[in-house]
Amino acid sequence: MKEYLYLEHDGKLLLVDNDGNGPKKPIMGRIHDGGSLIRLPTLEEVKNMKIEWKKKRENLIYFENNEYRVIIGVPKIDWPENWAWKDSVISDNAVHPVVRESVYRTIHRVVSKVVIENEQGMILMAKASRGFFSGCWTLPGGFVDYGEHPRNAAIREAKEELGIEIDISDHLGESGQKRNGEDGVFIQENIFTSEGINWLSFTYIIKKDIIIENITPKKGEIEEAKWFTKENALRNSVSLFDKEAILSLEK
């Protein structure tokens, strides 16, 4: 297994050439057919540069029959003026794919969900028929689209998945329009596997009575919707984010 060190500071990365000399910078838009010219440094190469750093975690990356361990670290420096901007590595194919994959994994996967609680204190859940949680009960919601506020994403997902209209307050107008009301939001983040994909979850909490017969599950995506007591909602949910959001109702 090959081992490299990923040091990032204020959006900049430490990169070296194939001989371990650095720092090196990518050239955006470069097309190079002769193999990689720029890569992540090894631990020994960083030591030789006399750069101190603190370990955060490890990511495992697999390319065909090759396995790479990428140690994620925080450099103890003020400002890496001569390092590479992380955004510039994507369009330079002279940069080793492990670098590009490591940068890709630093991008948050943002999901937005909603806890809908009725007057009896029951929670509305949907049974998914595809995706990560196929066959399981989850809170309504899904991925936030590019350029979309999480509040608007939760409203959109409730409409798309269940055919219901909901309102989520926005007292400060963060999503572009002020909306009064009483609700809350529970924000979580987690890295669930050794691959290092970071998930960021916004779960909005609202009160609304909805008649089950008025719900129209999205064909091919949602099998059915059902009201659960909080205890049964916790028992049936499989998403850690869902469980924590439901538990937050008691806090």
Same domain for 21 and 139, yes or no, is no
Decide which of 87, 104, 121 is a domain's last residue. 104
223: phi then psi, degrees, rounded to nearest 5: -80, -45
Give residue 123's pLDDT: 97
- For 98-111, what is each residue's pLDDT tens digit? 999 999 999 999 99
Centre a 10 Å sphere on the Cβ of residue 69 and count the other Cβ atoms it contains.
14
Same domain for 116 and 234, yes or no, is yes
DSSP run (H or E) holding 75: strand 66-75
- For 191-229, what is each residue's pLDDT tens digit? 998 889 999 999 999 999 999 999 999 999 999 999 999
Same domain for 113 and 215, yes or no, is yes
Same domain for 73 and 119, yes or no, is no
What's the one-letter identity of residue 178?
Answer: K
What residues make up the domain containing 73? Answer: 2-104
Same domain for 216 and 125, yes or no, is yes
Round to whole Å and give the CA distance between 232 and 8.
43
Same domain for 64 and 186, yes or no, is no
Domain count, the chain: 2
pLDDT category at 48 given cuts 50, 70, 90 is very high
Same domain for 153 and 230, yes or no, is yes
Is 178's pLDDT higher than 90?
Answer: no
Same domain for 127 and 213, yes or no, is yes
pTM equals: 0.86
Is 230's pLDDT higher than 90?
Answer: yes
Same domain for 18 and 83, yes or no, is yes
DSSP run (H or E) holding 228: strand 222-228
Round to whole Å and give the CA distance between 163 and 126.
12
Decide which of 59, 82, 104 is a domain's last residue. 104
Which whole number is the average pLDDT over 222-237? 96
Give residue 34's pLDDT: 84
Give residue 114's pLDDT: 97
Decide which of 85, 104, 123 is a domain's last residue. 104
Which whole number is the average pLDDT over 219-242? 96
Same domain for 125 and 181, yes or no, is yes
Round to whole Å and give the CA distance between 89 and 175.
31
Round to whole Å and give the CA distance between 159 and 136.
20
Same domain for 211 and 121, yes or no, is yes
Average predicted confidence (pLDDT) for the chain: 93
Same domain for 122 and 210, yes or no, is yes
Please choose, from the candidates 144, 150, 30, 34, the residue with its C-alpha nearest in 3D space to the C-alpha of residue 90: 30
Is 181's pLDDT higher than 80?
Answer: no
CATH number assigned to the domain comprising residue 50:
3.90.79.10
